[in-house]
Every structure is written in C-alpha cells, then in structure tokens.
Structure 1
Amino acid sequence: MRQLLGGLLLAAGILIAGASGLCSAIYVVAGLGLIVQTVKLANAMMALLVGLGLLLFVGGIPFAVGMGLIKLGRWIRSDVSKPGRKGPGGENRD
C-alpha cells in the first residue's frame, strides 16, 4: 500500500512540476519576444522584471508543490529494510 501511495504522489508531482515547467518555458520565450520588440530600454527592463515576478508567482508555486510531491512520494516509497531509516510517523524501521 505504501508503494502505491508513494507512486501516486510521485506521478502527480511529475505531472504538476512538468506542466508548470513547460508553461513557464513558453511564457519566458513569448515574453522575451515581446521585450525584444520594445523600443525603449527602460520599458524593456521594467517588462522583464514584472514578467519574472509574475513567472515566479504563477509558475513557481505549482512547480514547488510538484517537487514537494515528488520528494514525498520518493520518501514514502523508500526501502523499509534499510536500517536507521525513519518511517512516516518518526518511528525507526530497524
């Protein structure tokens, strides 16, 4: 059961982080295309800073959640026979 739960969390994390990463990459490419077309350097720099802030807020939060699910899924699926490892409740698996 632990392997199944860990695998489900791992799969969900990969899908969330992957989709967020691809969306962020498309956003960056489109944003750079718009910035190149901007005539004034000051306007381009302001657009770049606003765009990066928006990217971190909108794309960074789902990416962090996806990476957290990946880490949690790998931790839950980890081998129970290794000595010294702690289980989800903090108990030793020895």
Structure 2
Amino acid sequence: MTTLEKAVEDNHFKNQELLPIPSCKSLAFESCFEPVPDRNNQMYIEYTRMGVEVQKFDGILVNKRQDLEPKTTGAHGDRRLLGRVSPLPIYPIGRCSDRSNHI
C-alpha cells in the first residue's frame, strides 16, 4: 500500500504546509477534513482502511471528463504520477447529475 511519507504528512498537518500531489494542484491544509490531522482519530483510521480496500477493486470511476481535465485524468494513468498510488484502471465517466440537472 502506498502511503504518505511521515515527513510529508507531518509538514502538511503539523506545519500546515501545502501537500504536494504529483501533476495536480497541491492540497492546502484548510482543505482537509478536520479529524484527518489526528492519526488516532477514528475517521483518519477509516480513511486509511478505505485506501487499502480500494486496492481490491477492479477499477475506479471518477466524476471527470478526459477532454475537460486531461492533466488530472492523465496523471491517474501515469505510473510516475498518481498511477503509482494505485495500479487500478481509472474510468472518467464524465459529469454526473440527477434528472433535475443539478450536481
């Protein structure tokens, strides 16, 4: 399982620095869920567990369009970028909406 290096995670959570994500926009500390910085919090433990469980899937559907977000969707398939996090195929399924056309 790929996880954040402790030093990178500490810089993000303790020093509130940007979290670098290969080929994507860095994640600001303020953008994280509140319980996530505490490694003993049940929500942090569950997010980590779900990250392990995802590796058992056949693929991942993402609510993105390849033609509108080629950099982000391309990073998922690139083993040097986000593709190194998960070997699963990524399926951009486009914009999902309900019948009222609201997202």
Q: Is the radius of gyration larger for structure 1 or structure 2? A: 1
Q: Give the TM-score normalised by the residue count of structure 2.
A: 0.20
Compare the two structures and name the one with the higher strand fraction.
2
* TM-score normalised by the chain length of structure 1: 0.21
Instruction: Choose between structure 1 and 2 for higher RCO, CA contacts under 8 A separated by at least 6 residues.
Output: 1
